Amino acid sequence: MASPRAPLRFAEAVSATVSERTRSGFFFDFDGTLAPIMRDPAAVFPVAGAVARLRALAGLVGRVAIVSARPAAFLCERFAEVPQARLFGLYGMQTVVDGRVRTDAGARPWAPVMRTLIADAGRELPGEVLVEDKALMVALHYRAAPELRRAVERWASDKAAELGLREQYGRMVVELRPPVKSDKGTIIERETETLTRAWYFGDDLSDGLAFDALRGRQDRDPAFLGVKVAVANGETGDDLARGADFTVDRPEDTPAMLDQVIAAFPARTLDK
């Protein structure tokens, strides 16, 4: 059995990343990590400075990526100024290649099922529940009425069983999606295969799968360094924070942490 690693120090993580910069990657969730959580999902934009930091990182390390439940087209709009970034939407069911969105072949046949689900949700759920249509995924937001959580979760569970869908729980939201084997963990497993250093920033339950993927790679390969950063919040408990190497208090603090990383690279001036 491998001996447990000593707690990671931030300066050590940064130094190790700088030393292997071309084989280092930075991966980010979007909502709650690079952007605030809001009642209207369409109104959400990255926090001040986030795009500039990602653009700077993209010129310093081998890989920068956004891994999100958002549709890939939405991510393209929000990160148009970081063309080097890899974009993974709908938990990897959509990817952006050469500026064009590609959809997983296994997910496409489920589009009619999602249309049925949208119609059912509109008829059967209380009006306070925001039903977000993501084409190949449906998100049921109860942020405007937290007391409806159990009712929404029961309805989602019943529909998942009826239609053969997967459930994903998050911050005052339940998402229903095709039973395609793609999530933040599988993306990180795949995208870090050629890397020796990888940082992942997240805030929600689904981000725990990415943390697990980094731990698994590190267990298999002692030379690999996985750095887990959690954005603290009171909505998902503290499990993610307990499993993180470092935490920040809110999305607005993510650019400040990235500043510390960027500043460690020699002869680089950040365009603020």
- Taking only the tens place, the pLDDT of each residue in 121-141 is 999 999 999 999 998 999 999
Nearest to 46 by CA among 22, 14, 88, 77: 77
Residue 6: count other Cβ atoms within 10 Å of its Cβ: 7
Q: Reading across the β-sheet that carries 24-28, which strands appear in turn?
A: 100-103, 94-97, 86-89, 63-67, 24-28, 197-202, 225-231, 246-248
Amino acid in the structure at residue 186: T
Nearest to 227 by CA among 188, 255, 194, 263: 188
The pLDDT value recorded for residue 98 is: 82
What's 239's DSSP letter? H
Catalytic amino acids?
A: 29
Cα distances from 192 to residues 144, 176, 215, 258, in angstroms, run: 38, 27, 12, 20
The pLDDT value recorded for residue 226 is: 97
Q: 175 with 20: CB under 8 angstroms?
A: no
Ranges of residues in the chain whose predicted pLDDT is under 50: 1-3, 268-272
Q: Which domains does the chain have, with CATH numbers?
A: 10-103+182-263 (3.40.50.1000), 108-177 (3.30.70.1020)
The pLDDT value recorded for residue 233 is: 84
What's 31's DSSP letter? B
Q: 210 with 202: CB under 8 angstroms?
A: yes
Amino acid in the structure at residue 32: G
pTM of the predicted model, to two decimals? 0.92
